Structure 1
Amino acid sequence: MKFPKCNETPLGIYPIVDRAYKLKPLYEVGITTAQLRTKDAFTGEALEDEIREAVKISEAFNARFFLNDFWELGMKHNVYGIHLGQEDIQKADVKAILEAGIRLGISTHTPKEIEFALEFEPSYLAIGPIYEPISKKLVYDTVTPERLEDWATKVDCPIVAIGGITIDNIANIAQTKVVSGIAMISDILENGEISPSRTKALMEVFNKYA
Structure 2
Amino acid sequence: MERFYLITGDVDWIEKLVPHGVKLVQLRIKDQPETEVRRQVIKARDFCKAHSAQLIINDYWELALELSCDFIHLGQEDMDTADFTALRKAGIRFGLSTHDEAELDRALSHNPEYVALGPVYPTKLKKMKWAPQGLDRIRRWKQMVGETPLVAIGGLTPERLAGVFEAGADSAAVVTDILQAPDPVARTQEWAEACRL
Give 2:35's match in structure 1, choosing from 19, 23, 45.
Answer: 45
The alpha carbon displacement at 1:151 in A equals: 1.6
Matched with 2:68 is 78
Q: Does 1:207 align with 2:196?
A: yes
Matched with 1:99 is 89
% identical aligned pairs: 33
RMSD: 1.6
Determine if contact 1:132/1:138 at 8 Å carries over to the other structure.
Answer: no
Larger relative helix fraction = 2
Q: Aligned letter for 1:189?
A: L
Determine if contact 2:71/2:93 at 8 Å carries over to the other structure.
Answer: yes
Matched with 2:19 is 28
Matched with 2:113 is 123
Distance 1:30 1:167 in 2: 14
TM-score normalized by structure 1? 0.88
Q: Aligned letter for 2:87?
A: I
Query: What secondary structure sits across from 2:69 in the alignment?
Result: coil
The alpha carbon displacement at 1:108 in A equals: 0.3
Change (3 A) 1:32 1:205: same
Stretches of structure 2 that go unaligned for 5 or more consecutive residues are: none
Q: Aligned letter for 1:85?
A: G
Q: Does 1:160 align with 2:160?
A: no
Query: What secondary structure sits across from 1:125 in the alignment?
Result: strand
Determine if contact 1:12/1:32 at 8 Å carries over to the other structure.
Answer: no
Distance 1:127 1:164 in 2: 12
Give 1:179's match in structure 2, choosing from 166, 169, 183.
Answer: 169
The alpha carbon displacement at 1:181 in A equals: 1.2
The alpha carbon displacement at 1:146 in A equals: 1.7
Deviation by residue 1:74-121 (Cα, 9 ceiling, x = unmatched): 111111211000011111111111111011010001122111100000
The alpha carbon displacement at 1:123 in A equals: 0.7
Q: Aligned letter for 1:195?
A: P
Distance 1:189 1:54 in 2: 17
Determine if contact 1:170/1:202 at 8 Å carries over to the other structure.
Answer: no
